[in-house]
Structure 1
Amino acid sequence: MLPEDNIEVLEAKDGVEGYNLIRSEKPNLIMLDFLLPKMSGWDVYQEVQKEYDLKTIPLVLMSGRKEEVIEKLTEPFEYFSFVEKPFEKKQLLEAIRDAMAKAKKHPQPKTPQPANYQNGSVPKDTAVMTQEIYNLRQQMSKMQNEIDTLKGQLRKVLEFIQQRR
């Protein structure tokens, strides 16, 4: 039902495994059932929202019981898309496009101004340094994701070349 591009599908048997896959693989899209064993899809979504590099991943939440989902949700569908099961290919593709647009709405984390160290003095406010470290880690995480993506693309190119020999 998904577009026939180079898509790698990762499946999880429950919410805990799904959340761990999301954290380790950082996929380009998350499709999440609302009702999952061990950890509900909604709980997975809430955990994902705690980490900036994860919460910007487009997310489609799905369920066969939309009324139940609406009752349990404490926030509007501002940062994710919802599709009711059963769904057609067109509905799924619309939900994916919608999720991609909504994922871009997440506000950027606040970046403090760089500390101005005069005469080699140590700043008294360690919160500024802590925030700078956090920002650097976020940048490193983003760079690592880009490196991993490039490695995957290179692997596919090499496989393609080997198949042509």
Structure 2
Amino acid sequence: MASLKILIVDDSKTIRMQVRDMLPRGSYEVIEARDGVEGLHVIRQERPNLVLLDFFMPRMNGWEVVQTIQADPRLKSIPIVMMSGRREDVEKTVPELFDYFEFVGKPFGQSHLFNAIRSATAKAKDRQEVAAIPMRSPAEVEDAPAVGPNGATELQQLKAEVQQLRNQNARLRTEVETLKKQMAQVVALVRQKLG
């Protein structure tokens, strides 16, 4: 039986086959999905150890899948490698959120894929460690001694809390940008109908 379960989510059958062929036979159980909606269903059912996810797909894009995964405490520790031939477009769409996934630009070779898998796994592990640290209120942080008996540990906790707040802030900014785009589309549609 394979030790790891990997899900490849891409609307291109060719890409899914190429990625499957790059993975060593027998080392992984590979599952495939054709788009984000199907991929999210498979993630919930199969709980893969890793998701290789195309960014631009019909029905639900890769970033929407990542947001849904991050909102579910049972799924948020799954490492994700985002794939796209248009890195600049991905960076514009989700600035400062590469902490949630590793990125590999299409086309890519086997060594790039393995490096991305290692990095995504490390990022997921870091997120788990940060999530395990309980958040403190601003008053608790203010009242805490600068350096206590476990000074290094307290400093690490504060750094983790700051990183968590940065991630939340970045997510909120992305949501605001998405809402602005949607509002602009609605305004354009209304103008078109009225004009």
Q: For residue 36 of structure 2, what is the aligned residue in structure 1? A: 15
Once the two structures are TM-superposed, the CA of residue 110 in structure 1 deviates from its matched residue by: 6.3
1:93 and 2:123 equivalent?
A: no
**Partner SS for 2:99:** coil
Q: For residue 78 of structure 2, what is the aligned residue in structure 1? A: 57
1:42 and 2:63 equivalent?
A: yes
Q: For residue 186 of structure 2, what is the aligned residue in structure 1? A: none
1:77 and 2:98 equivalent?
A: yes
Cα displacement string for residues 79-132 of structure 1 (whole angstroms, at most 9, x for unaligned residues): 2100000001000000000000000111225669xxxxxxxxxxxxxxxxxxxx
Distance in 1 of aligned mates of 2:74 and 2:24:
25
Once the two structures are TM-superposed, the CA of residue 45 in structure 1 deviates from its matched residue by: 0.6
Aligned length: 112
Once the two structures are TM-superposed, the CA of residue 10 in structure 1 deviates from its matched residue by: 1.1
For the aligned residues, what is the CA RMSD?
Answer: 1.7
Cα displacement string for residues 13-53 of structure 1 (whole angstroms, at most 9, x for unaligned residues): 11101011101111000000001110001100110000122
Distance in 1 of aligned mates of 2:76 and 2:26:
24
TM-score (norm. length: structure 1): 0.63
Distance in 2 of aligned mates of 1:34 and 1:79:
13
Q: For residue 147 of structure 1, what is the aligned residue in structure 2? A: none
Greater than 4 Å deviation, 4+ residue runs: 109-112
Task: Trace 1:64-143 onto structure 2 (pairs within 5 A).
Answer: 64-106=85-127, 107-108=130-131
Q: Relative to total residues, which structure has the larger helix share, 1 or 2?
A: 2
**Partner SS for 2:92:** helix
1:25 pairs, out of 46, 55, 62, with 46
| Equivalent residues of 1:79, 1:105 under 8 A apart | no
Distance in 1 of aligned mates of 2:42 and 2:113:
22
Q: Relative to total residues, which structure has the larger strand share, 1 or 2?
A: 2
Amino acid at match of 1:29: L
Cα displacement string for residues 57-97 of structure 1 (whole angstroms, at most 9, x for unaligned residues): 11100100011111100433112100000001000000000
Distance in 2 of aligned mates of 1:96 and 1:5:
17
Range with greater deviation from structure 2 (72-81 or 18-27): 72-81
Give the fraction of aligned pairs with identical amino acids, expressed as a percent: 51
**Partner SS for 2:28:** coil
**Partner SS for 2:75:** helix
Distance in 1 of aligned mates of 2:24 and 2:123:
20
